[in-house]
Amino acid sequence: QRGRPEGDVVGNVLGGWGESLRLADAAGIQRERIILDPGFGFGWTPEENLEIVRRLDELTGAGLPLLLGPSRKSTLGLVLDAPVEGRLEGTAAAVAIAVAKGVDIVRVHDVAAMRKVAAVADAISRGRWHAS
């Protein structure tokens, strides 16, 4: 995110994606091989990271899979005033909101726990639930 213009974080993400997709198209990369990631925790301020999660629904309309990697990030540590090993609940909250807002893929460390969080968030927000 270095050198990005000041202003609307979602606008900056979308603008960056537009440029990246133009470069991918020019390189002959097929769209079905692309996953979009707004870069939570990479070059954004803590406030911008939180805004990205809050406004994820504005980023899901690009027609490509959307990934978010909030796991144990420092922004969560600042919110919780917690070290890395104390950020599980913050990661769970971010994963639940991300899934509810339409994110397709979450990148996490605590896979088993976050799978359960994502399953419940998906069942509530999208009505995707199947009895086993």
- Active site residues per annotation: 73, 107
Where helices occur in the chain by DSSP H, the ranges are 9-26, 46-54, 74-80, 88-100, 111-126
Which H helix or E strand runs over 67?
strand 67-68
Query: Residue 36 and residue 59: Cα distance in Å, rounded?
Result: 9
CA atoms within 13 A on the CB side of 81: 0
How far CA 44 is from CA of 38, 47, 81, in Å, comes to: 10, 8, 19
Length of the chain: 132
